[in-house]
Amino acid sequence: MNAPSPRKLRVATTSLAGCFGCHMSFLDIDEHLFELVELVEFDRSPLTDIKDVGPCDIGLIEGGVCNAENVHVLRAFRRNCKTLIALGACAVNGGLPAQRNHLPLSECMREVYQFRPGIANGQIPNDPELPLPLDKVRPVHEVVRVDYFLPGCPPSGPAIWKFLTDLISGRTPRLSGGLLHYD
Amino acid sequence: MSGKQFLLDGQPVSFEEGQSILEAARKAGHYIPSLCWHKDFPAHGSCKLCVVKAAGRHVSACATPAREGWEVESNTPEMNGERRGLLQMLFVEGNHFCPSCEKSGNCELQALGYEYEMLTPRFRHFYPERPVDASHPDILLDFNRCIFCELCVRASRDVDGKSVFALTGRGIDKHLVVNAESGRLADTDFSKDDLAAHICPVGVILHKGPGFAVPIGERSYDGASIREKKLREEEAS
């Protein structure tokens, strides 16, 4: 008798204050993508263009939290994902965007939108549709509970593949030796 | 050899009277981690990465003389877990952004993070404000990464005879300062050939110029772990 094939795991991914480099690195698992789609199906992700996250097994968060929209998306991911993973340096410790943290936000905005060379009568954007920036950029674990962390800028394709295969097959994900990098 | 021994994780380790647990262990080919310890300087005992359990008590292995018959626990899940906790605290206390640091791959703090499989700094980040000092023609000081090991302070004072650096402030306000009225490195007699210019275990004292001449991926701790490297250095000395 044929055993029913196991339900595919549902995976959502997003990039908050990130550069999509971690998503690009995710694509660097290359031909493993064929194996992966046998095991998982994608929910909200730049790969599917689904806009809202639904109930999922695994959520991958790239990037730190720099504005109000990031907070909403991150909380929605936490509500819907059984296992939430901080993917990459920015999600883990704020990364490059967090290097503005020692500057007052207003000074940053003025520098970019008013005082940058070549700008005349520049104004800080104030369209109500724009999400409000936070005074400091935060790593995701300072906003919601995070189950696993996968550091690296970006984590390499092999590191992402090792991590996901560990997780999907029920092992505690472990990165050691050459797969663990912060840079 | 006096024939005296203690047990390190169940292995007999010989030591000479007065030798620290860390020194005896490294000499015998066992790795105990450290950041503030340097073989040419007296023990400092500030980073606590070398914490071991000796005769049931937590001690700094670099500052505790070995004793005959002691049972010392070092490479155990418990002690390594505590070391990981110490590393996490060091990471959130400063601004440690490895991807944009020139020292990445040669940094002992980062290498220890790899060694103890630190995947997250876990705690809330302090994001302290620590302006850099780029005034010196040959050296850049990026205080964001300082871990207060005082190796530059000690090297500059005890070997270079210049006392260019000092720690000031207490507790959370502690920070590294430059011994000049202006506070700028350019206004001292600091030279890129000083021992203090070559002793920083992290990315505070950087030489201008080399930058990423050795690319990320081909650096000291990209190929070998800090455990392997330190033991090899010990063997060669």
Cα–Cα distance measured from residue B36 to residue B112, given in angstroms and rounded to the nearest whole number: 13
Q: Do B130 and A175 touch (CB under 8 A)?
A: no
Q: Do B97 and A98 touch (CB under 8 A)?
A: yes
The low-confidence residues of chain A, meaning pLDDT below 70, are: 1
Q: Which residues in chain B are closer than 8 Å to A141, comparing Cβ atoms?
A: 120, 122
The low-confidence residues of chain B, meaning pLDDT below 70, are: 1-2
A100 to each of A95, A113, A117, B67, how far by Cα in Å? 10, 15, 20, 50
- Judging by beta carbons within 10 Å of its beta carbon (0-12, 13-18, 19+), is residue B67 exposed, middle or buried? middle
Dihedral angle sign, alpha carbons of residues B124, A85, A168, A29: negative
The tokens describing B233, both together, are 């250095």
pLDDT, residue B3, reads: 85
Q: Which residues in chain B are closer than 8 Å to A86, comparing Cβ atoms?
A: 120
Rg (CA), chain B: 18
Please give the tally of structural domains in chain A.
Answer: 1
| A137, containing H or E segment | strand A133-138
Q: Do B127 and A94 touch (CB under 8 A)?
A: yes
In chain B, domain spans: 4-75, 84-228
Residue B85 C-alpha, separation from nearest chain A C-alpha, in angstroms: 15
Taking the alpha carbons at both ends of chain B, their separation in whole angstroms is 18
Which DSSP symbol is given to B207? E
At residue B3, φ and ψ (nearest 5 deg) are: 85, 5
Kindly report the CA angle at A50 between A45 and A53, in degrees rounded to 5? Answer: 75
| B139, containing H or E segment | strand B139-141
Q: Which of B100, B110, B121 sits opposite A96 (nearest CB)?
A: B100
Q: Which residues in chain A are closer than 8 Å to B120, comparing Cβ atoms?
A: 86, 92-93, 141, 146, 149, 151
| B8, containing H or E segment | strand B4-8
The tokens describing A172, both together, are 């505690």
Residue B105 C-alpha, separation from nearest chain A C-alpha, in angstroms: 8
A101 part of contact set with chain B, CB < 8 Å: yes
pLDDT, residue A6, reads: 78
At the second CATH level, the architecture of B84-228 is: 2-Layer Sandwich (3.30)
A135 part of contact set with chain B, CB < 8 Å: no
pLDDT, residue A4, reads: 73
Helix, strand, coil fractions of chain A, as percent rounded to 5 = 35, 20, 45
A180 part of contact set with chain B, CB < 8 Å: yes
| B165, containing H or E segment | strand B165-168
- For the sheet with B51-54, list strands across it: B11-15, B4-8, B71-73, B51-54, B57-60
pLDDT, residue A9, reads: 96
- B36 in Cβ contact with B46 (< 8 Å): yes
CATH 3.30.390.10 fits B4-75, yes or no: no
Q: Which residues in chain A are closer than 8 Å to B91, comparing Cβ atoms?
A: 93
Q: Cα B220 to the chain's mean position, in Å? A: 15
Is residue A29 assigned to a domain?
Answer: yes
Q: Do B119 and A139 touch (CB under 8 A)?
A: no
Q: Do A102 and B130 touch (CB under 8 A)?
A: yes
Taking the alpha carbons at both ends of chain A, their separation in whole angstroms is 50
In DSSP terms, B12 is beta-bridged to: B7
A60 part of contact set with chain B, CB < 8 Å: no
The residue segments making up the domain with residue A158 are 9-99+136-177
What is the interface pTM, i.e. ipTM, of the complex? 0.93
User: Which runs of consecutive H residues, i.e. helices, occur in A46-130?
Assistant: 68-80, 89-93, 105-113
Q: Which of B98, B114, B129 sits opposite A89 (nearest CB)?
A: B98
Q: Which of A141, A174, A183 sits opposite B105 (nearest CB)?
A: A183
A134 part of contact set with chain B, CB < 8 Å: no
Which DSSP symbol is given to A72? H
pLDDT, residue B2, reads: 53
The tokens describing B136, both together, are 């010196």
Is residue A63 assigned to a domain?
Answer: yes
Query: Nearest-CA residue of chain B relative to A182?
Result: B98
- For residue A60, the domain's CATH number is 3.40.50.700
- B61 in Cβ contact with B19 (< 8 Å): no
In DSSP terms, B139 is beta-bridged to: B207
pLDDT, residue A1, reads: 61
What confidence tens digit (pLDDT) does each residue in B116-142 have? 999 999 999 999 999 999 999 999 999
Q: Do A151 and B120 touch (CB under 8 A)?
A: yes
Coil vs helix vs strand at B38? coil
